[in-house]
Amino acid sequence: MAIFYSDQYVSFVQAVPVVKLQTTDLAGRVRCARFTYTVPASAGPATGDQVYLTTIPWRARVWQTFLGSDAQASGALLQLGDGVTAARWGTSGVLTAATAALVFPTKSDYTTAVPTTIPSAASGAAITVPNMLPFIGTFNTAGSAANAVIYGVVFYSVD
């Protein structure tokens, strides 16, 4: 049997001198923000359309997002971002018949600083709340069924 170690384990346990873990690896309470979005009966989202799903506090670090959906007419794909970077918090798998998926942030957002730009109307964000980041889903493909529901939970911490 082989034994393998993560980078963090080697740095903290085996390195001489010991390399302390980043505060982002140790601190913060995990919180969640829930959302639901019902596709309008008249016209579903087209490619490139944005859905403002929820908001999270400024300087929050997103750990993962759970996405679920009702049956969709065809495969809709969502990029999860903040109005500045479209896929900052990942891209969903194809949302088809009653799917559920975990979406993870990009590697750089997992291991680097929290977002440094608050979206504003000038950056394309339609609605901004002071000291909050919008959590936006951008449709990569059209095809959401009328009255279908997309729902989810964003897990984050604030350092």
* pLDDT tens per residue, range 41-89: 887 788 888 888 888 887 788 888 888 887 665 567 788 887 777 778 8
The share of the chain scoring above pLDDT 70, in percent, equals 67
Nearest of 15, 49, 19, 57 to residue 137 by alpha carbon:
49
pTM over 0.75: no
Q: How far is CA 139 from the centre of its chain?
A: 14
Adjacent-strand bridge partners of 103: 65
CATH number for the domain that contains residue 124: 2.60.120
Please report whether residue 126 resides in a domain: yes
Please report whether residue 38 resides in a domain: yes
Which domain does 34 fall in, by range? 29-158
Nearest of 21, 99, 101, 23 to residue 61 by alpha carbon:
23
Please report whether residue 22 resides in a domain: no
Please report whether residue 9 resides in a domain: no
Adjacent-strand bridge partners of 33: 154
95-120, pLDDT tens digit by residue? Answer: 766 667 777 776 666 655 455 555 55
Number of domains in the chain: 1
Please report whether residue 142 resides in a domain: yes
Taking the C-alpha atoms of residue 28 and residue 56, their distance in angstroms, rounded to an integer, is 14
Q: How far is CA 41 from the centre of its chain?
A: 26
Tell me how far CA of residue 115 lies from CA of 45, 56, 88, 102, in angstroms.
27, 12, 9, 21
Please report whether residue 24 resides in a domain: no
Q: What is the mean pLDDT of the chain?
A: 74
